[in-house]
Amino acid sequence: MIGSGAHIMKMLKRALVLALAVTTSAGAWSAGEIELRNTVEKVEVFVNADGEEERRLVPATSVVPGDELRYTILFENVSADVTVDAGSVVITNPIPDSTTYVEGSAFGAGTVIEFSADGGESWGDPDSLVIVEDAGERLAEPDDYTHVRWTLGPALDPGQTGSVFFRVKLL
């Protein structure tokens, strides 16, 4: 057992808050123009009135191994008069310990999404991310991912907001 649901959620939220990073290309903007907020929600599966299975996001007040969680990172250009250059905002987030990335779940409109399988040393898309092992090289699988990174494509005008997200399964 890895701990109570409350302990697990505290650990997962701490991992997100401590490791969430925003970087920029040199000189693109000064600190304080981009503000981040994050949430962790549980993905709940239920059967609707038509007997069809649906998913909804609920507060992650209690989680157990096998639960699916969604991490959402909200970003905002809080500057009153500075547009942040296109391609200059990069949001990087680790895949929290005791979880595994859910394949195909990372999303961010207008972003380029890349993954790392080596602690953030190298990056690539799922079709090009390679792991070097004693037996040779192989394509990384979602279970191997250690980080996800989004590079915002469009410029971010003053007051403009957006969000990116990904899902994990609790081990």
Are residues 21 and 77 in contact, defined by beta-carbon separation less than 8 angstroms?
no
Q: Which pLDDT tens digit goes with each residue over 28-56?
A: 445 568 999 999 999 999 999 999 999 99
Tokens 């790392």 map to which residue?
116
More confident residue, 32 or 141: 141
Q: How many CB atoms lie within 10 A of CB 44?
A: 13
pLDDT for residue 150: 96
- The pTM score is 0.83
Examine the pLDDT at 1 and tell me if it is beyond 70: no
pLDDT for residue 46: 94
Examine the pLDDT at 86 and tell me if it is beyond 60: yes
Are residues 41 and 57 in contact, defined by beta-carbon separation less than 8 angstroms?
yes
pLDDT, mean over the chain: 86
pLDDT for residue 24: 45
Examine the pLDDT at 2 and tell me if it is beyond 50: no
Cα-to-chain-centroid distance, residue 120: 13
d(CA 142, CA 96): 13
| Tokens matching residue 80 | 């009153």
